[in-house]
Amino acid sequence: MTVSPGTSTPPVATIDRLADFAGRTVTLRGWLYNKSSKGKLHFVQLRDGSGMVQCVLFKKNVPEELFDAVGACGQESSLILEGEVVADERAPSGFELQVSGGHVVQNAEGYPITPKEHGSDFLLSRRHLWLRSKRQWAIMRVRDAVITGLRRFFDEQGFVCIDSPMFTPNACEGTSTLFEVGYFDRSAFLTQSGQLYAEASAMAMGKVYCFGPTFRAEKSKTRRHLTEFWMLEPEVAFANLADVMVLAEDMVTYVVKQVLERRRPELEVLERDLAKLEAIQTPFPRLTYAEAADILEADPDSEFVRGDDFGAPDETILSNRYDRPLMVTNYPAEVKSFYMKRDPEAPDTCLCVDMLGTEGVGEIIGGSQREDDLDLLLARIREHELPQEAFEWYLDLRRYGSVPHSGFGLGLERLVGWIAGVEHVRECIPFPRTIYRMEP
Ligand code: 4AD
Ligand code: MG
């Protein structure tokens, strides 16, 4: 097959849609992921962001300049290739491109990330390039489907998205983990959670969620901690704790199903055990903190001390008992936040919930019913030694039409890591910020 100069260029296709073009000649635009050459043949693995396909350049079928130029191309050179889309059972995409024309846009030399193994520090320093690798590509596409799935879920449930500010004058989740930033002639803090504002929004709109970056100056060096991460926080007027627990399990089940439907090839790249995801169905198991404490105390491998928050090994012991996420309620009030409502049935505990993912991934959601009584909330603010003036606006929500209400916060990167089967949350955000790094 030859293409004479002057013929109009074939339609531009993307690799994920090649099936629509079987047997036709198309233009693909992308980057050279890998290449092998055998005499009169070049095999180019071309990636275009939507997928990867093998492009075959047979010397006698392409202009000589193109054959030579591709032969000289290094990894990540940018290319525009034209050719026929041919079904090929052996190809992962189901197709290959039999190239007839095209050109090299830029010949890249010395691309630093080669198919050999690199250390994580090397890769993190080159995150701007590392994102092009197959595994990172797959994770980012899972993340995208998780975000879209979450937004679809809340939209279908009648929620209004109403976002909270990033600059805040005060703390929500404790003063020790705040990033302070200059704000003209005063200082501000980067938000740790949009919750307090989401509560105000819920009193205006009924069912709301906010979704944005949140910041924690935690000195945590674990695989679960970022200093900047995305949190989705629904807040529902007139809902009690049990209501938002149902919301949380429905949300997680919905999103897992969406990812299974829309990102199966990516999950296969990640070698995710799909049976484990297919098992995620409502209802999720529920335990109180006291019940969970009994289980841990009976376990010889646990160093758990009743009254403390669970450590990562404790969470693993608990979650390994189930094939679905576990919801633990009624933590001791001392280890939880000032805004959580006490359980009238067990007043030294809170009406709160943590959801632990399966396979030992730990907490993915934290939430609670909120204290809706003005005097009790004032007392909590004093007990926690928080400055009352800073919370006057929040207290107004209890002065004017206070109602029972509840909500939770979902850590996006932890959910993505769990669904994608990725150990470390730093691979679950495009440009991770941790205590060690904010470059690139
Ligand atoms: O449990 P947290 O601290 O809850 C709150 O901030 C509440 N105000 C949310 C609410 O009720 N609206 O955080 C919620 C979730 C955690 O379950 C976890 O998934 C994630 O946010 N998270 C982190 N993810 C990555 N890195 C960190 N440093 C995180 N800290 C919390
Ligand atoms: Mg928490």
Answering whether pTM is above 0.85, one says yes
- Are 172 and 38 in the same domain? no
Pair 288, 171 in one domain: yes
Asked if 41 and 140 sit in the same domain, the reply is no
CB-ligand 1 contact for 336 (6 Å cutoff): no
Choice from 189, 229, 434 to test ligand 1 binding pocket (greatest atom count within 8 A of CB)? 229
Q: Report which of 360, 367, 293, 299 is spatially closest to residue 327, judged by C-alpha positions.
A: 367
Is the pLDDT reported for residue 4 higher than 80? Answer: no
Positive or negative, the CA dihedral 162, 168, 174, 176 is positive
Q: What pLDDT, on the 0 to 100 scale, is given for residue 1?
A: 45
Q: What ligand has the least distance to the C-alpha of 426?
A: 1
Q: Let me know the angle formed at the C-alpha of 436 by 433 and 439, rounded to the nearest 5 degrees.
A: 55
Q: Is 417 in the pocket of ligand 1 (CB under 6 A)?
A: no
Distance from Cα 229 to the centre of ligand 1, integer Å: 9
The confidence band for 7, taking pLDDT boundaries of 50, 70 and 90, is low
Instruction: Indicate whether 69 and 141 sit together in one domain.
Output: no
Q: Whose CA is nearest to atom 17 of ligand 1?
A: 365
**By C-alpha distance, which of 175, 209, 208, 207 is closest to 192?**
175
Among 142-146, 172-176, 383-387, where is mean pLDDT lowest? Answer: 172-176
Q: What is the mean pLDDT of the segment spanning 142-149? A: 98
Cα 426 from chain centroid? 10
Which ligand 1 atom sits closest to the C-alpha of 216?
Answer: 28
User: How much distance in Å is there from the Cα of 225 to the middle of ligand 1?
Assistant: 10
229 lines ligand 1 (CB under 6 A): yes
Residue identifier of the C-alpha nearest atom 4 of ligand 1: 366
Q: Which amino acid is at 273?
A: D
pLDDT in tens, 310-335: 999 999 999 999 999 999 999 999 99
Question: Is residue 341 a part of any domain in this protein?
Answer: yes
By CB atoms closer than 10 A (0-12, 13-18, 19+), residue 171 is buried
CA distance 154 to 149: 9
R_g of the chain, CA atoms, integer Å: 26
Q: What is the pLDDT of residues 256-295, one digit of tens each?
A: 999 999 999 999 999 999 999 999 999 999 999 999 999 9
- Find the angle CA(331)-CA(176)-CA(432) to the nearest 5 degrees: 95
pLDDT digits over 402-434, tens only? 999 999 999 999 999 999 999 999 999 999 999
Could you give the CA distance from residue 141 to residue 232 in angstroms, rounded to a whole number? 18
Q: Quick one: which of 71, 54, 44, 57 has its CA closest to 15? A: 54
Q: How many domains does the chain have?
A: 2
Residue 172 Cβ contacting ligand 1 at under 6 Å: yes
328 lies in the same domain as 209: yes
Q: Considering the domain boundaries, does residue 299 fall inside one?
A: yes
- Per-residue pLDDT at 5: 52
Same domain, 253 and 191: yes
Render pLDDT for 173-225 as a digit per residue (tens, 0 to 9).
777 889 999 999 999 999 999 999 999 999 999 999 999 999 999 888 889 99
Residues 343 and 377 in one domain: yes
Please, what is the average pLDDT of the chain? Answer: 95
Does the structure show a pLDDT above 90 at 127? yes
Q: Please calculate the CA angle 297-248-269 and round it to the nearest 5 degrees.
A: 90
Q: Which amino acid is at 425?
A: V
Residue 6, pLDDT > 60, answer no
- Strand segments, DSSP code E, in 245-340 are 286-288, 326-329
The proportion of the chain whose per-residue pLDDT surpasses 70, expressed as a percent, equals 98
Residue 433 lies inside a defined structural domain of this protein: no
Domain carrying residue 241:
124-427
Specify the pLDDT at position 106: 98
Token code pair at residue 406: 């509840």
For residues 425 and 127, what is the distance between their CA atoms, to the nearest angstrom?
14
* Atom of ligand 1 lying closest to residue 365 CA: 17
Query: Do 413 and 277 share a structural domain?
Result: yes
Ligand nearest to C-alpha 368? 1
Structural domain ending residue among the three candidates 75, 106, 137: 106
**Do the Cβ atoms of 153 and 234 come closer than 8 Å?**
no
Mean pLDDT of 340-349: 97
Same domain, 47 and 135: no
Q: CA angle, 210 as apex, 217 and 214 as ends, to 5°? A: 10
- Give a yes or no: residue 7 inside a domain: no
Residue for token digits 């703390």? 171
